[in-house]
A and B are shown apart, each in its own frame.
Chain A
Amino acid sequence: MVKVRMATPVLQQNDEVARENRELFRKKGLFVLNLMSSPGSGKTSILERTIEKLSNRLKLGVIEGDIYTTKDAERIEKFGIPVVQINTAGACHLDARMLQPALDDLDLNGLDFLIVENVGNLVCPAEFDLGEDARAAVLSVAEGNDKPAKYPLVFRESQVVLINKIDLLPYTDCDIDQLEKDLKLINHELKLFRVSARLGQGFEPWVQWLEEQVNLKKKLSASQ
């Protein structure tokens, strides 16, 4: 009998492809955001509001991850910005390789900012680096206060959490201050934004943050 030591990370292949993607984004000076959440938390609605606010200030593109449908991509197309759909055909997350054909379909030279809407799932997407610059997780107040404790990885690995559906607060048991404290315990560097995508509330600080990141990335890329 032979014993073979390996110690190779299982996700090594994905991480290598993610590095390729990251290098491409660096060369293009393109800021890439990976948007993650559970299904129904309002990712696509947040995306719509964000596009409304930013499309006259920045050149935006969107990659839509979905298991089977093109429903989200159809919603984004209405804004007249480039959008590419990735159907994962059953897979519960996007990985770095899946992103590559979609990147080929986009004219990256004509973009400042690319948003990747991941598959609706709080568990699996957190494990897969896509090569993005930042990760934003969406959590809606209707989902309950226990979500950070149940799905710590996604919040640990994100730079931003958008707390959505704040207009529903009076109708839920959610203690939003406690929720924010719990999130900060997992990751004290998290930037938190309280928003209502339905009413368009609270978006200005979020889009300002995005614009800063996009400009920072451009400057960094130009100075290299």
Chain B
Amino acid sequence: MHEMSLMMGIVDQLRKSAAENHIKKISKVMLVVGEMTMAVPDALQLAFEAFKEEELFQNAVLEIRKEPVRGECKDCHHNFGVEDFAFVCPNCSSPNVRIASGRELYIDYYEGD
């Protein structure tokens, strides 16, 4: 369960940015989580609850957008959805596949007043 330490990083970034932008209350946070990160959305939600006593996050809703795992073949440059974590190009069968998406873990945006 490393979601708590991830969430501590997330709320730190939010506190800092909110102070810079003179925002007192955050209403919504949009977090992007790739399917090949080991962060579980439910556990992130639970971790976020722990910060609800803070005025900044009191009414904040955490929304999580999942990014599917996609690969790009380094040989034929075919871009494809990776199923069952099998990194093999369906076009040319090459195993030389780079992860094109699915490793994201970032705050896309937040809203507040």
Interface residues of A (CB under 8 A from B): 1-11, 13-14, 91-93, 95, 123-124, 126-128, 148-149, 151-153, 156, 184-188
Contacts and interface: CB of A to CB of B under 8 A. Distances in A.
B70 to A, nearest CB: 14
- The interface residues of chain A, by DSSP majority, are classed as mixed
Given A91-B2, A92-B2, A149 B109 contact: no
A10 B85 contact: no
B13 A10 contact: yes
With most chain B CB atoms within 10 A of its CB, the pick from A8, A93, A151 is: A8
Closest 5 CB pairs of A and B: A188-B95, A124-B2, A152-B85, A6-B107, A185-B86
19 contacts: A1-B112, A2-B112, A3-B111, A4-B18, A4-B111, A6-B110, A7-B107, A7-B108, A10-B9, A10-B105, A91-B5, A93-B2, A124-B2, A124-B38, A152-B85, A156-B36, A185-B86, A185-B95, A186-B87
A125 B107 CA distance: 21
Contacts of A126: 38
Contact of A95 (B5, B13, B105): B5
Contacts of A6: 13, 17, 106-110
A27 B5 CA distance: 30
A149 B87 CA distance: 12
A30 to B, nearest CB: 27
A13 B9 CA distance: 8
A149 B86 CA distance: 9
Contacts of B109: 3-7
B36 A153 contact: yes
With most chain B CB atoms within 10 A of its CB, the pick from A4, A7, A91, A149 is: A4
Contacts of A156: 36, 85, 87, 99
Interface string B3-29: 001100110110001100101000100
Given A127-B38, A149-B85, A4 B21 contact: yes
Nearest to A122: B38
Contact of B111 (A2, A92, A151): A2
